[in-house]
Amino acid sequence: MSISVIFFLGFIIALIGVIPPGLLNMTAAKVSLKEGYARGIIFSIGVCAIVFLQTYIAAMFARYLSNHPHTVEILRRVAFVIFVLITIYYLFISKESSKPNVETHSRSKHSRFFQGVFLSAINVFPIPYQAYMTISIAGFGWFSFEAMNILTYCAGAVMGTFVMLYMYIFFFDKIKNKRLTSQKNMNYSIGVITGIVAIVTLINIVMES
């Protein structure tokens, strides 16, 4: 598989993972609104530094699992059930709640970078997400666990994350009072994305059977 395709896969998978409004993208948007675009971008660079590390760890874990196909088969089935349950929860069960108020007091460029590093580090969801997606695209024959491929995929994931944070930074002011940012619609967005992942998982399970 060509390097450009692997980069694109990393880009798209990471971008999709950051679409639902969450702590990282909402904080980047609020920092930008209160302190200017430059501060929001610095925060996003801090986030992306950790995303590269998390994606690399996920790829290493996925490479280990790929050498143990029986374990991967079990994990795929477990992941399918989990994603289905998450989809059902966000689409049909979760209720609208008040939005978390993220305070942005500090104005130092360095503090914004390290705030991005810290918030990204405590957000461990990208590791299992990327590990699963990496195994999935490898199962389709679109990815192999060679060093250059892994680094290219990580670079694509970083760029995809940054682009989505950038979009939040520059467009959030226009949509912050729209229905798009309501908690109900956030939940629907998450539910749709996990539903798509569940479908991909099911296809992978069927293909491996």
Burial string for 53-69 (b: 16+ CB within 10 Å, else e) reads bbbbbbbebbbebbeee
Is residue 100 predicted with pLDDT exceeding 50?
Answer: no
Determine the distance from the C-alpha atom of residue 104 to the mean position of all C-alpha atoms in its chain, rounded to a whole number: 23
Band (165; pLDDT cuts 50, 70, 90)? very high
Instruction: Provide the CB-side half-sphere exposure for 176 (13 A, CA).
Output: 15
Find the length of the chain: 209
Q: Under a CB-based contact definition with an 8 Å cutoff, are residues 169 and 20 in contact?
A: no
Predicted local confidence at residue 195, as pLDDT: 80
Q: Residues 23-36: what's their mean pLDDT?
A: 86
Predicted local confidence at residue 156, as pLDDT: 95
Is residue 31 predicted with pLDDT exceeding 80?
Answer: yes
Mean pLDDT of the chain: 80
- Structure confidence by residue, pLDDT tens digits, 105-155: 545 556 889 999 999 998 878 888 888 888 888 878 888 889 999 999 999
Extents of the domains making up the chain: 3-208
Is residue 98 predicted with pLDDT exceeding 60?
Answer: no
Predicted local confidence at residue 102, as pLDDT: 46
- The whole model's pTM is what? 0.74
Q: Residues 66-70: what's their mean pLDDT?
A: 75
Q: SS3 breakdown of the chain: % helix, strand, coil, rounded to 5?
A: 80, 0, 20
Band (77; pLDDT cuts 50, 70, 90)? confident
Band (104; pLDDT cuts 50, 70, 90)? very low
70 versus 141: which is more confidently predicted? 141
Q: What is the C-alpha to C-alpha distance for residues 113 and 166, in angstroms, rounded to an integer?
A: 15
- Structure confidence by residue, pLDDT tens digits, 175-191: 555 554 455 666 676 67
What separation in angstroms does the CA of 205 have from each of 2, 69, 78, 159, 179? 25, 12, 11, 30, 37
